Homo-oligomer: A and B are copies of this chain.
Amino acid sequence: MKQDYVQGFPAYCGFEVLRVAYGRFEVRLKVGAEHAQREGFVHAGVLATMADHTAGYAAYTTVPENISILTIELKINYFKPALGAFVVCRSKVINKGKRIIVAESELFSVRKDHEKLVSKAMITLMAVPLPEPA
């Protein structure tokens, strides 16, 4: 079920799943005071967390259920302050190797249905078999 996608820290942050497809995942955040940095923009860490979370689940859509996805590394560029009422993050898998999966996440600040690209990330993930249940 959709709510299974958001647990622990992503749930604490308030992410909400918008769309899921093979190799793709989209998440939305309603921005609150708890997401701000010093100047009142959405904190870089919130955006990095969205980028990672969304990329991880985009990768999950491409592997069997007994495979777990771990983030090896994440790189994110911040273009503009995120100032709107919502942030939307869209990820897609751009290369699927046997063990290494690479995804991109684009983050948009949303104000009155107008989207502005504020950040973009590349994420390297590893597909790891889950331990067999005893």
Name A residues whose Cβ lies closer than 8 Å to a Cβ of B.
7-13, 33-39, 43-46, 48-50, 52-53, 56, 68, 70-80, 94-95, 97, 99-100, 102, 117, 120, 122, 124, 126
Q: List 25 A-B contacts (CB under 8 A).
A: A9-B46, A10-B37, A10-B43, A38-B68, A43-B52, A44-B56, A45-B45, A48-B76, A49-B49, A72-B77, A73-B73, A73-B75, A73-B124, A74-B76, A75-B76, A75-B122, A77-B95, A77-B102, A79-B95, A79-B97, A80-B97, A95-B117, A95-B120, A99-B126, A120-B122
Cβ–Cβ contact A9 & B38, under 8 A: no
Query: Does the CB pair B71–A73 fall under 8 Å?
Result: no
Residue of B nearest to A106 (CB): B94
Contact partner of A7 among B10, B38, B75, CB < 8 A? Answer: B38
Give Cα A25–Cα B122 distance, bound, in whole angstroms.
Answer: 21
